[in-house]
């Protein structure tokens, strides 16, 4: 026979005790999972400047348009191969616009590195 707080529990009482303990722990688990993290920023300041100072929008775009040899050294594919691959996977790399997601071409460059 099990005891709880000095009281002896029968099989039925033990079952009820375990059931309520399980319910309490389950409710606590759900509550902890739902609690949100406290964030300082919605988007970090460095990421807000991605369009003006980012690698993709500056270096990669200029390599795609002007320096095909360096683009090949950087990605191991020609610009034509990159565009063909992008056409194949673009729908899967596209994200819903909740904030300002990376474009599929940018995500493909990151993946290919």
Question: Which tens digit of pLDDT belongs to each residue from 51-105?
Answer: 787 778 788 888 888 989 988 998 899 999 999 999 999 888 887 777 777 888 8
The answer on 13 and 58 residing in a single domain is no
The answer on 61 and 16 residing in a single domain is no
Contact indicator for 62, 79 with CB cutoff of 8 Å: no
CA–CA distances in Å: residue 15 to residues 1, 4, 6, 86: 12, 12, 17, 59
Contact indicator for 88, 99 with CB cutoff of 8 Å: no
Residue 44 φ/ψ, nearest 5 degrees? -60, 145
Range of the domain at 85: 47-112
What are the start-end ranges of the H helices in the chain?
Answer: 11-34, 45-48, 50-53, 55, 61-65, 68-75, 79-93, 104-112
The answer on 61 and 104 residing in a single domain is yes
Split into its structural domains, the chain has a count of 2
User: For the segment 2-55, what is each residue's pLDDT rounded down to a tens digit?
Assistant: 676 767 767 777 888 888 899 999 999 888 887 767 777 777 777 777 778 777
In a domain, 12, yes or no: yes
Mean pLDDT across the chain, nearest whole number?
82
pTM for the full predicted model: 0.51
User: For the segment 12-22, what is each residue's pLDDT rounded down to a tens digit?
Assistant: 778 888 888 99
Instruction: Say what the pLDDT of residue 57 is.
Output: 77
3-state DSSP call for residue 28? helix
Q: Which residue has the tokens 């389950």?
A: 26
In a domain, 41, yes or no: no
């Amino acid at each position: 026979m099990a005891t709880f707080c000095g009281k002896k529990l029968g099989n039925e009482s033990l079952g009820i005790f375990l059931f309520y303990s399980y319910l309490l722990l389950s409710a606590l688990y759900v509550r902890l999972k739902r609690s949100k993290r406290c964030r300082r920023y919605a988007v970090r300041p460095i990421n807000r400047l991605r369009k003006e100072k980012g690698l993709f929008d500056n270096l990669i775009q200029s390599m795609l348009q002007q320096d095909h040899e360096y683009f090949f050294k950087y990605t191991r594919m020609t610009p034509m191969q990159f565009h063909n691959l992008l056409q194949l996977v673009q729908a899967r790399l596209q994200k819903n616009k909740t904030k300002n997601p990376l474009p599929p071409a940018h995500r493909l460059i990151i993946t290919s590195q």
